[in-house]
Copies of this chain bind each other. A is one copy, B any other.
Amino acid sequence: MPPLEFEPLRSRAMSAAPRPPTAPQRPSTPPPLPARLLLGPGPSNVPRSVREAMAQPLVGHLDPSFLRVLDDVQANLRTLFGTQNRMTLPLSATGSAGMEACLVNLLERGDDVVIGVAGVFGARMCDVATRAGARVTRVDAEFGTVLSKDAMEDAIARVQPKVVAFVHAETSTGVLQPVEEIAATARRAGALVVLDCVTSLAGLPLALDDWGIDAAYSGTQKCLACPPGLSPVSFSDRAIDVVTARATPVQSWYLDVTLLAGYFGGERTYHHTAPISAILGLAEALRLVLAEGMEARAVRHREAASRLVGELALLGFEPLVRAEHRLPPLTAALLPERVLGWQDGAGASGEAALRRRLLERHGIEVGGGLGPLAGRIWRIGLMGDNARTENVDRLADALRAEL
């Protein structure tokens, strides 16, 4: 078990006793939040019309007017995922819960799963699958590279797994993994294929059906340009058949797709109360994506990323990932000496201090590295509405001012 990472009772955050619940307080209105350009690994900035859609007065989660919105959301998610999967829906939790939903529905205790790990999110899949009682065969690749097709093929041939899982767009490294060959190998071996599309959905065209993917998940706070809180997921009919034929119940009631089907399928019966406002925001975000067109949107993401790599090179940053495997919505860059040794003049130094300076003085958020890449790279997101060359220029200007 990992150690608890919080302080014991009555420490810092508990030094003031809770206020008594009986007397009315006069809490002051909090100060407005600072304006931020969110160029980290997500969330990205959310267009005004999406925020206004979320702020509409509520209707019920079974109200016919809301169910029409939900119909549209599910249809438009199918379009973006490139699938006809009936069970395509916005799960009522964040992207990590989408990962868990895909794995715990398909895996029973003792099942074999082969997982490709070329970053933090591949490793997270292994943790989730292990907790579900699966036997995990892990195929590692160096962070910043793609998975080896041969290594995946060898593992699949050796293990004959029920499920093969890997990450399309590795948010910890900025690698875009080629999907088709590994997925085809897995399907030839009779395995179900699970794909992490957290940082690819709505940033590049997806084709779950053509690729032969059985379960995929994403998040709303990346290229969809919504707030975090929902996880678009999609299950193929083949996957649903496997879930229906399980010998044991899905370990999670909340994520059990056979129960979710009651609400997100044709019946629209109560399972849990769907996050109405977040779904209203997602509906508007999907409308914006389709109005732009997925091809144009992908071009915009590629052009912004290309300009970013060029600007970073002028500042001494080196891309972590080879050009042909870069994920346009998220660029990982190795930090030059002048960033690693940067000093703020008040005693703080290093890349984290510079990130804080960018945030506080320039209102720009960029992301640090995760896992073995912590302190070595920055992760710069140009996702959704933010994938614009003028945002690259703003970041480059801020960096030039500080370096």
Contacts and interface: CB of A to CB of B under 8 A. Distances in A.
A54 interface: yes
Contacts of A403: none
A359 to B, nearest CB: 7
Nearest to A47: B57
Given A35-B57, A228-B274, A87 B6 contact: yes
Contacts of A29: 287
A91 to B, nearest CB: 9
A401 interface: no
A246 B96 CA distance: 23
A45 interface: yes
A323 interface: no
A265 B237 CA distance: 41
A238 to B, nearest CB: 11
A272 B95 contact: yes
Nearest to A26: B291
A56 interface: yes
A356 to B, nearest CB: 9
A92 interface: yes
A278 B276 contact: no
Contact of A258 (B2, B42, B219, B283): B2
B84 A252 contact: no
Interface stretch (A8-16, A139-147, A184-192): A8-16
12 contacts: A6-B262, A8-B86, A11-B266, A26-B291, A30-B283, A36-B58, A36-B60, A38-B60, A95-B273, A100-B252, A228-B273, A278-B278
A253 B74 CA distance: 26
B19 A290 contact: yes
Q: Which of A6, A61, A69, A272 has most chain B Cβ within 10 Å?
A: A6
Given A9-B84, A46-B57, 19 more contacts: A1-B249, A2-B259, A7-B86, A14-B86, A18-B82, A19-B75, A30-B72, A33-B66, A33-B280, A35-B57, A43-B60, A43-B273, A46-B277, A54-B54, A63-B365, A92-B94, A93-B254, A227-B275, A227-B277
Residue of A11, A13, A130 ringed by the most chain B CB atoms within 10 A: A13
A352 to B, nearest CB: 11
Interface string A318-337: 00000000000000000000
Interface in A343-381: 359, 365, 370
B58 A43 contact: yes
A131 B72 contact: no
A266 B33 CA distance: 21
Interface stretch (A159-167, A174-182, A292-300, A308-316): A292-300
Contact of A4 (B34, B130, B132, B261): B261
A131 B253 contact: yes
A75 B14 CA distance: 8
Interface in A95-130: 95-97, 100, 124, 127-128, 130
Contacts of A205: 21-22
From A25, A44, A132, A290, name the one whose CB has the most chain B CB atoms within 10 angstroms.
A25
B97 A254 contact: yes
Contact of A80 (B21, B132, B269): B21
Given A60-B38, A60-B43, A365-B63, A252 B131 contact: yes
B1 A246 contact: yes
A244 interface: yes
A213 to B, nearest CB: 15
Nearest to A41: B273
Contacts of A13: 71, 74-75, 86, 266
A77 B5 CA distance: 21
Given A27-B287, A59-B36, A253 B54 contact: no
